[in-house]
Amino acid sequence: MIPYPIKMTAHVRTYYFGERLIPEILGKKDAPDGTVAETWEISDYRDTTGTITNGEYEGRTLHDLVEEFPEELVGRGWSGPHFPLLGKFLDASHILPVHLHADDDTAKRKHGEPNGKSEAWHILWAAEGAEILAGVKDGIGRDELFEAFREREYEAVMPKHEIKSGDTVYVPGGIIHTFGPDTLIFEIQQTSDLGQSVMPTDLYGNPLDEAAWNRNINEALDELKTDFAPRPNPGLPIEDGTNRRVFCCADSHFAMERWTLLEPRTEPSHTDRFLMLSNVGEGDVGIEYEGGSELLGRAESCVLPAAMGEARLSPEGEASLIACYVPDLGRDVIPPLRDAGYSDVEIRSLGEVGV
């Protein structure tokens, strides 16, 4: 493989909950007209796999590279059916449907899929009054949940929390959730599109008939888990000179960090994992590597392959980046946070970290 920062096309979804926050607030230049609810920035999910737009592999798909260069792209010793993470911008101008995603076991057992969908939302912008509903209140049984969903009384059975810019919400597979309105996020997730909604409409606002609605609610309740209570988390910051690195969330599937750069940052070589970067600031970020350089513009994303080696990130003014990867928790997450003085209780607040 010839490794370099790989950019690709974004897949757009026009679901009813979106409006124009992605081009208007993030400044995404290539967003189409009309509703832009989601842009799948880095995706290898079936026919949404991104087409490479720069460099040696321009015109090929991310899936092509996963198949031909699995270890060089994703990480030494890695193999799998698809690129393991999917990163997206999501516009919740209107409240998202109340829904859940299968966990790994349910995805394999029930749907014949290689994995389920745990996810996390990093709040890029939220108006006053934006909130999440996530999980199930104590003591609520299946019959009561079914009746509440039929009556659309979601707050009666789901905990509610306010959210603000800079918060992150970690949501494992099987946990029912919604958020909004007037909220813009970056979402990191396992590569999957499995979902069960309890709403009376589909994702485009079209009404369902009674039988389909009841069936969907029961399907969701069959996959529901109640062993985790998502809450907004401001993250755990580590200062590095004038730069700032915030650990936002972590589990065995993914870790997400928010980097604020006022001066260049050197990212060391990671031969056993890639790094996904999304520029959520207002200025460009230069990426220098052994083979050349690339510019990551506003609201652009890229993948730094595992085989690329060291990278130097240079901001124009102040830069803000989302960085995601598949972690070795015992090396990439827990030790640096302990070294920074964080307790195991604080580290556990990031997700399912195993400390």
Low-confidence ranges of the chain (pLDDT < 70): none
- Which element (helix H / strand E) includes 138? none
Q: pLDDT at position 355, please?
A: 87
Q: pLDDT at position 11, please?
A: 98
Asked if residues 192 and 107 have their Cβ atoms less than 8 Å apart, the reply is: yes
What residue type is assigned to position 180 of the chain?
A: G
Q: pLDDT at position 159, please?
A: 98
Asked if residues 270 and 261 have their Cβ atoms less than 8 Å apart, the reply is: no
236-348 matches 11-223 in CATH topology: yes
Q: pLDDT at position 25, please?
A: 98
Would you call 120 helix, strand, or coil by DSSP?
strand
Asked if residues 106 and 116 have their Cβ atoms less than 8 Å apart, the reply is: yes
Domain boundaries, the chain: 11-223, 236-348
Would strands 131-134 and 99-100 be described as parallel, antiparallel, or unpaired?
unpaired
Strand partners, 266: 312
For the record, the structure tokens of 5 come out as: 């920062």
Total residue count of the chain as it appears in this document:
355
| The CATH homologous superfamily of the domain defined by 236-348 | Jelly Rolls (2.60.120.10)
What residue type is assigned to position 49 of the chain?
A: T
Q: CB-based contacts of 227: which residues, under 8 Å, 6+ apart?
A: none
pTM of the model: 0.98
The CATH number given to 11-223 is: 2.60.120.10
